[in-house]
Amino acid sequence: MMRYLAIALLLLNGISALFGGYALMADATGSGVGMPIQWIENSIFHDYFIPGLYLFFVNGVANLAIAAAVWLKKGRYPMLTIMAGAALAIWLAVQIIIIKQLSMLQFVYALVGFFMIFSGIAMRTTYNQDLEKREA
């Protein structure tokens, strides 16, 4: 059950991050996604390209790869799921600090990150049992 929850959350985050990251890279002014450039004026970023790049690869591509690992039970998929949830939490924290804005979408994705971490922790028990069986 936790595996399917993790896969669904990883896919949700991954697919939406691909679209959002691409949109920010394609139009680094942020206007295409309704993000005023003023939100990042006092940050280290001159535009939204670098945040879009991070969003695309770290929260997008990596989450899809981790979803595949969870589906196939490859590698240390519980830890990868926890790390994906942590990366999402870091993304949100930095975003809130930089843009000084709060939205319902941030709250929703904070829950997604929390449940990714939770499902990764829950999957560790099954993962460890499977590992013991393989070693026996």
Spatial CA neighbour of 3 closest among 59, 73, 63: 73
Cα–Cα distance for residue pair 72/97, rounded to 1 Å: 37
Q: Helix count (H) and strand count (E) of the chain? A: 5, 0
Q: What is the pLDDT of residues 96-123, one digit of tens each?
A: 999 998 999 999 999 999 999 999 999 9
Task: Note down the domain range covering 16.
Answer: 2-28+43-135
pLDDT for 130 = 73
- Token couple for 80: 């990868």
pLDDT for 136 = 64
Q: What is the pLDDT of residues 43-62, one digit of tens each?
A: 999 999 999 999 999 999 99
- Token couple for 135: 């070693």
Residue 105 inside a domain? The answer is yes
Cα–Cα distance for residue pair 18/16, rounded to 1 Å: 5
Number of domains the chain is built from: 1
**Mean pLDDT confidence for 34-41:** 92
Q: How far is CA 7 from CA 14, 46, 81, 99, in A?
A: 10, 35, 9, 30
Residue 104 inside a domain? The answer is yes
Mean pLDDT in the chain? 93
Cα–Cα distance for residue pair 33/38, rounded to 1 Å: 14
Residue 90 inside a domain? The answer is yes
* % of the chain exceeding 90 in pLDDT: 85
